[in-house]
Copies of this chain bind each other. A is one copy, B any other.
């Protein structure tokens, strides 16, 4: 398996990216193609390690507009990496800008969507009482009902193949349980989802239900999804700070903190956004993993394993199949 790696994306690039990928690729028997500043990359590749380095000077920064990947930054490490994925790669890994990654992956100029898929999305897995795939979690700020249905189906396939859930419970994020709730697009999507034989649609999820195990896939537009994703993150930080304060209050609570230290450590690890690794881009014909921007060496090594599992899972093929049917029906 040939994994294309954007060596320059992320807060800790290229050091942690290259070192992590070297370790991950060794463990997984994956051949890496690093894209980015060749000299800097080579500084982190051990002597004798089998890989390829494709040089480019250009990098997409977090502040660059997503569209720049198909314009001035087409030759960036991310843009060039996606082009390599198209011609010869099996999977692609980047810790760079999410917006640019989805834009580049979606655009025919750089990579291109699966035929029949209307919008590619980014799908993060929330580490709550159960893993919940948030589909979309930030790529498409406005969508129509049929796009929401495709998000639901892609998310369902992902949770089947990656988490081994036979019949993932798919819910539509909404402001009430009744089918008549929500903006028009959500009401339309509700009716369409009820009629999907390939989806285990469990109805609307009010967001209070999401942390409590109501569904395996939560479907919404990318604006709402981004709000959910980041609010979970913020709430986690807020809880962490609050716990610290509680345990630091006096000698007795300090002792209480000591006695429960390991359990809280486990709990924090369970809630860590790193727990389920990077987020897949779905709706494109090859696996793309968006690693967290702050990924360290360990996270990158884990993401290599994730990319391999994704590649071998058959997800892209399964999405291609239903998309082809959607396409036939719409012709």
Are B212 and A234 in contact (CB-based, < 8 A)?
yes
Are B207 and A227 in contact (CB-based, < 8 A)?
yes
Are A208 and B231 in contact (CB-based, < 8 A)?
yes
Given known contacts A141-B183, A232-B231, is B256 in contact with A175 (CB within 8 Å)?
Answer: no
Q: Which of the 9-residue segments A41-49, A107-115, A260-268, A292-300 touches chain B?
A: A260-268
Are B252 and A259 in contact (CB-based, < 8 A)?
yes
Are A138 and B210 in contact (CB-based, < 8 A)?
no
Bitwise, A205-245 to B at CB < 8 A (1) or not (0) is 01111111000000000111011101111110111011000
Contact of A149 with B by CB under 8 A: no
In Å, the complex CA distance between A175 and B66 comes to 14
Q: Which chain B residue has the least Cβ–Cβ distance from A183?
A: B141
Given known contacts A210-B234, A234-B207, A234-B208, is B175 in contact with A227 (CB within 8 Å)?
Answer: yes
Q: Is the interface of A mostly helix, strand, loop or mixed?
A: helix
Question: Contact partner of A173 among B227, B241, B242, B263, CB < 8 A?
Answer: B227
Question: Contact partner of A183 among B129, B173, B206, B223, CB < 8 A?
Answer: B223
- Using Cβ atoms and an 8 Å threshold, which residues of chain B touch A241? 129, 212
Output the residue of A128, A173, A235, A239 with the most chain B CB within 10 A: A235
Given known contacts A246-B264, A253-B263, A256-B260, is B234 in contact with A231 (CB within 8 Å)?
Answer: no
In Å, the complex CA distance between A294 and B242 comes to 27
Contact of A39 with B by CB under 8 A: no
Q: Beyond A128-B238, A129-B238, A256-B259: 6 further Cβ-contacts under 8 Å?
A: A206-B230, A208-B231, A224-B224, A231-B235, A252-B260, A253-B260
28 pairs across A/B with beta carbons < 8 Å? A63-B178, A65-B180, A128-B238, A129-B238, A142-B183, A182-B223, A206-B230, A206-B234, A207-B226, A207-B227, A207-B228, A207-B231, A207-B234, A210-B234, A212-B241, A224-B224, A224-B227, A227-B227, A228-B231, A231-B232, A231-B235, A239-B239, A242-B267, A246-B263, A246-B267, A256-B256, A256-B259, A260-B260
